[in-house]
Every structure is written in C-alpha cells, then in structure tokens.
Amino acid sequence: MELPTYDIPESTNTMIKLYWTPLIQGPLTGGIALNGYRVLYKADADIEWTTIDSSTIGFTYITPLVPGTFYTFKVIALNKYGVGMDSPTVRIVAGQRPDPAATAPVVTIVDTYIKIAWDSPISNNVPIDAYKVMIRTKDLQFTQQLVNCNASETMIVSSRECFVPMVSLRIEPFNLQYTDPVVVKIIAHNQRGWSEPYNLNDEVTGAP
C-alpha cells in the first residue's frame, strides 16, 4: 500500500476525507479480488487505534474528529484470507481553510505612504502562512502591490501591516487620482487554502 493522503477542500475541523491508491488484483492482493480496505487512525494522545472498514473504493470520510488535534492514519487491504501489510502512516491535523476576520482592514495615511493593517483571521487550527493584500484600481479591479506589500513574506505575515508609497498608486496598474478612494481587499491562507475576503475598508480619499 502506498502512503494515504487527504482531500484538502473536503476536509474540515471535524472531518478528514482520507484517500489512497486502490490496489490492482495481482501479487499485492494475494492474486485474488479485495474485499475492501481497513483504515486505522489515532490521535497523538491515544494508545489504541480506531478502525474503520471501507469498501473497495479509494477513500473514506473519518468523523467526528476533535478540531486542532493531530491524527495518524494508515490503510490495510483486505481479502477473504485476511489483512495485508500496513501502508506508511500519515499525520494530519483536523482543520480547514481560514475564515476572514470579523473586522475590515484599516487604511491610513502616514506621511507619503498608505499604511494597510489588518487583524488575524480565524485560522481554523492550521497556521496562517500568507496573505494577499489587493488594492482596487481605477477600473475597479483588485491587484497586489508586491514591491512594498508582498504579504507572503514572513515579516508582513507576522506584523499584519505594510506601507505602500502613494506615488505607486498613481501609475499602472492602479492609476488612482487624488480624489479616488483607496479600497483594500485581504484574504488569508493556510495549508488548507485561501479564505473568503475580509470586508472592505472604509474608503480613504486624497491619498494618492
């Protein structure tokens, strides 16, 4: 058996969709058809394994799980004579993609810069490893200013703030004029994926 893995979009704080590559009938199945698979899992604090027997398809849903808890999983193939060898184990935390913070980002003018600051999102038990900070352009599209606000950088992830020169918003791709509002959209990322956007900030005008 190969190493099992999990379906990121379908896994949540209390459920993991575990899947594996089904075996083809042959030497690895004892030369006969399989009856199914057995999934074993346990939390880090557990001594005994919990067992789930699954059909011959290559996935199963494991629930209920405790949010934020790490679990170890392995899979065993079954035929009419008994069980095969254990697969390698995989350790997975029960978690899901972030939820946006309840508060909108705060945009202020600091000298010749726009300061953008935001609160931590709800991480859903998987650490936040990046953000996207997107500024609305003249034609109402949102794009990043990566020179000064690359929110995948560790320092910005930690501080949750960045400073964007006003002059950079006057040129492509933003093309904002003095009276145009500066509107910011933020999304957060963890190993499970990207959050929905935060609420938009209160508009700041006169900045560029």
What residue spans in the chain does CATH classification 2.60.40.10 cover? 5-93
Which residues face 136 on adjacent strands? 142
More confident residue, 33 or 87: 87
**For residue 208, pLDDT beyond 50:** no
pTM of the model: 0.85
**Chain segment 148-196, per-residue pLDDT in tens:** 999 999 999 999 999 999 999 999 999 999 889 999 999 999 999 999 9
Q: Minimum mean pLDDT among 50-64, 155-169, 193-207: which range? A: 193-207
Could you tell me which of 89, 77, 4, 71 has the C-alpha nearest to residue 38?
Answer: 77
What does the pLDDT average to over 30-38? 87
CATH class of 5-93: mainly beta
Collect all residues with Cβ–Cβ distance below 8 Å to 185 and sequence separation of at least 6: 133, 134, 135, 136, 142, 197, 198, 200
The pLDDT tens digits for 79-98 are: 888 888 899 999 999 999 99
pLDDT tens digits for 40-52?
Answer: 999 999 999 999 9
CATH architecture observed for domain 106-194: Sandwich (2.60)
Tokens of 45: 């604090």
For residues 102-107, give the mean pLDDT: 94
**Would you state the pLDDT for residue 205?**
64
**Average pLDDT taken over every residue of the chain:** 92
